[in-house]
Amino acid sequence: MKSISLLFAVLFSFLFAQVGFTQANEEVVVSGKIVDGLRLLSFAPDQHNDFVIYRGDYIQPALGGYTSFTLTIPELGIEKTFPVPKGERAYVKMKKPGSYNFTAGTASGIIKVIEYNAASYRELSAEQAVAVLKNTNPVILDVRTQGEFQQGYIQGANLLPVQVLQDYLDKLAEYKNHDILVYCATGNRSTVASRILIENGFKKIYNLRYGIVDWAKRGHQVVR
């Protein structure tokens, strides 16, 4: 009896720890907001700033009261001055989970990059995506640019760049309960697009984790 009681106590402790971990994850507040596919972050000058964002986010920073500043994230080799010259991309990519120290003008702090997780979201390898395409006939969204799309795409894909996805959510509404497979070049923009869809009520989202680059590298068909 004592051993059984001890077993139940251990199981209860484990379950309690798991519930606590889940609740902690659910309470994470992600910083900024997504506009046109970019996560807007506002840095407060002359103080420490902490941010939590998702892997795959494209950050467009602003520094209160400053029209020009340099964002530096040493561990990622990022050093970029804003505003950027005309024609240059006005954001930085956050590709790897982890905690990164940064400076932005007179501001400093930590950007914590976490993986996205939701009940209606699943990341797929190229091989897993092949099985999904074969068995569920999903809507396929290519969220790259038109130029990238014209260089090659997955058969049946619909081009909808992540930068304009939010403008087309109403037109996609009929597919809220359909399987949707999202991909980009390497899996960053597709992660952003997947979150936008889920946060707007879409129920079955698959993300091609390493994008069409990995898809093609593994010998799967690309329409050119």
Per-domain residue ranges of the chain: 33-114, 121-217
What integer is the mean pLDDT of 9-28? 41
- CA atoms lying within 13 Å on the CB side of residue 113: 22
CB 58 within 8 A of CB 144: no
**Which architecture, in CATH terms, is 33-114?**
Sandwich (2.60)
Q: Report pTM.
A: 0.77
- Dihedral angle computed from the Cα positions of residues 214, 217, 218 and 223, in that order, rounded to the nearest 10 degrees: 90
pLDDT at 8 over 70: no
pLDDT tens-digit readout, 148-175: 999 999 999 999 999 999 999 999 999 9
Q: For residue 4, what pLDDT is reported?
A: 39
Q: What per-residue string of b and e applies to 193-219 under the rule 16 or more CB within 10 Å gives b?
A: bbbbbbeeebebbbbbbbbbbbbeeee
Write down the number of H helices and E strands in the chain.
6, 14
Q: Which residue has the tokens 């070049």?
A: 185
pLDDT tens-digit readout, 41-62: 999 999 999 999 999 999 999 9
pLDDT tens-digit readout, 67-102: 999 999 999 999 999 999 998 989 999 989 999 999
* CATH number 3.40.50.2300 given to 121-217: no
Question: Does the CA dihedral 80-82-85-88 come out positive or negative?
Answer: positive
User: Residue 124: beta bridge partners?
Assistant: 208
Report the alpha-carbon distance of residue 179 to residue 205 in Å, rounded.
6
CB 59 within 8 A of CB 91: yes
pLDDT at 24 over 90: no
Runs of H (alpha helix) within the chain: 2-26, 126-136, 146-151, 169-172, 189-199, 211-217
Report the alpha-carbon distance of residue 32 to residue 115 in Å, rounded.
16
Q: Are strands 204-208 and 179-183 parallel, antiparallel or unpaired?
A: parallel
- CA atoms lying within 13 Å on the CB side of residue 123: 17
Q: For residue 11, what pLDDT is reported?
A: 36
